[in-house]
Amino acid sequence: MFVDEVEIEVAAGDGGRGAMSFRREKFIPRGGPDGGDGGNGGSVYLVASPHVNTLVNYRFHPKHAARRGGHGSGANRTGAAGADIELDVPIGTLVYAKRVIDEAQAAEFGDEPEDFEIVADLSEAGQRALIARGGKGGLGNAHFATSTNRAPRKWQPGLPGEVFTLRLHLKLLADVGLVGYPNAGKSTLISRISAAKPKIADYPFTTLTPNLGVVTLSDERSFVVADVPGLIEGAHDGHGLGDKFLKHLDRTKVLIFLVDVSGMSGRDPVADLDVLRRELALFSQDLASKPQLVAATKMDAVTDAAEQVGALEARARVLKLPFFRISSVAGTGLDALVEAAWSHISAARVITEPRTRNPEPGTLNPAP
């Protein structure tokens, strides 16, 4: 099951309380206070893992808590620190957080914040983000001894750990995104240019979830291509399936519009291209501004639709978009298409953006 959005709750461990204790040993009449400190609570981390490709596990296990710190004890013994927990998420996960506060905190410090704020973008394998910090352990009474108070009966409780409601949004990491109507040949193309094995059938909406494939070229070049469910007119308003998965194209470097020119769909290829480009623009201007290629698919099945192919090529020329005639079944035109995609990918990889440091959770919603 492919799940790309979940809401979970994470709780760091509370700090252990400090101890109130006095040293009592034979022949030592004034042993003094020896209460140890409480241990710190465990924290919660999210880690981008290449071994996870869906958030499905969190749908069925939405609550995760780290261990609390141990309480202090006599003889100045500090409580054990609570163990941290690390939650594996797929590479490309965006993390939005909202602090959870109880009624007493809300009354003292104001209402709970209404909006989720982004706290991490886990876009690289092994990237680790601190999400909820464990509570600090309380001080034992040994810390409160003074020259005038040699037998203090004061100690501190541990501080509570942070608790957050998280929204995890997965955006697949792909260099190339395939965009087209249902049955335009996206799944067939990705199966020919990569080792991916998507479901292929002659009915609409065969693809129900995104597929990823790695394309290998000469000279040890490679890139990742994503095939998302087909778009139809009105997709930006929720028609069909495509709008749910368009976000997975946000990180791509180039888009390939696949347009069926076989005539079997009964649609005008030029109108199909215009609809696809318009739906992307209505969904996201950033997405519509990415480099684009146009591929006329199913050329092996073209008989009396040669005029439509010419019209589509003319439209691509007007839009100043590179045009390719391909047949995934026959394997024709695929090398030129992937090389053209690579030229955009290599150019984009040269332009490196400075990485931003993941903010600490407390910097967004300061702890009460």
pLDDT at 166 (0 to 100)? 95
Distance of alpha carbon 360 from alpha carbon 153, whole angstroms = 36
Q: Which residues of the chain have pLDDT under 50?
A: 201, 203-206, 236, 239-241, 352-359, 361-368
Predicted local confidence at residue 130, as pLDDT: 96
* Eight-state DSSP code of residue 39: P
Q: Which residues of the chain form beta strands (DSSP E)?
A: 5-11, 44-49, 63-65, 85-90, 93-99, 117-122, 128-132, 163-170, 176-180, 211-216, 222-227, 254-260, 292-297, 323-325
Residue 363: its pLDDT value, please? 42
pLDDT value of position 368: 36
What structural domains does the chain harbor? 5-170 (2.70.210.12), 176-350 (3.40.50.300)
Q: What is the pLDDT of residues 78-109, one digit of tens each?
A: 999 999 999 999 998 999 999 887 655 555 55
Q: What is the pLDDT of residues 249-278, one digit of tens each?
A: 888 899 999 999 887 777 899 999 999 998
pTM of the model: 0.74
